[in-house]
Amino acid sequence: MSRIGKTPIPIPMGVQVSVADGVVQVKGPKGALKHPVPGRILVADEGEQVVIKRTGDEPDVRALHGLVRALLANAISGVTAGFKRELDIVGVGFKAELKNPREIVLALGFSHPVFYKAPEGVAISYDAKANRLTIEGIDKQKVGQVAAEIRGVRPPDAYKGKGVKYSDEVLKLKAGKTGA
């Protein structure tokens, strides 16, 4: 039995979980999320907790058992507290400008500005003093994907560390050439 999959997920106050037609819907104070459930995984709402069970013991079903439990735990956590990723913009003249909570214009040393529009349900804020972007939303996958796409525009370079990096990312810079 999967150690992750067999652990029940506690349902906090103010969160509703409903299972119908292979889709689990989670509603909470910050919004609602839907997650499809594979046919060989069973999800049961038992009052104050959600229990995930599997129908077989094949390797693919065992792998899905823990995955579905982790996705539902993230959904419950997302509708109650939400998720947040922070990105630091490092470099002279590198900056961002907010058009609205979902659109941003990045100036990252290219000859042109880079426009980025976040998907529905993800909000971006910018602190100009710290040169830090904050990406927030209730869906962990979307928040992480937006952060990865923005970082991918100009990842930190290996010699000076200039570019867009996660705020908790530790860079190991290369020494470069030693001149005489």
Please say whether the beta carbons of 94 and 108 come within 8 A.
Answer: yes
pLDDT of residue 39: 86
Give the CA count within 13 Å in the CB-facing half-sphere of 18: 8
Q: pTM (2 decimals)?
A: 0.89
pLDDT of residue 1: 53
Say how far apart CA 75 and CA 80 lie, in whole Å. 9
Dihedral, 34, 40, 45, 49 alpha carbons, nearest 10: -90
Edge-to-edge strand list for the sheet holding 41-45: 9-10, 49-54, 41-45
142: pLDDT confidence band, cut at 50, 70 and 90?
Answer: very high
Please say whether the beta carbons of 98 and 109 come within 8 A.
Answer: no
What does the pLDDT look like over 83-135, one tens digit per residue? 999 999 999 999 999 998 889 999 999 999 999 999 999 999 999 999 999 99
Dihedral, 45, 46, 51, 56 alpha carbons, nearest 10: -80
What does the pLDDT look like over 31-90, one tens digit per residue? 999 999 998 999 998 889 999 999 988 988 988 999 999 999 999 999 999 999 999 999
Closest to 69 in 3D by CA, of 106, 108, 93, 42: 42
5: pLDDT confidence band, cut at 50, 70 and 90?
Answer: confident
Closest to 11 in 3D by CA, of 32, 27, 34: 27
All residues at 6 or more sequence positions from 145 whose CB lies less than 8 Å from its CB, including other chains = none
Closest to 143 in 3D by CA, of 129, 161, 125, 124: 124
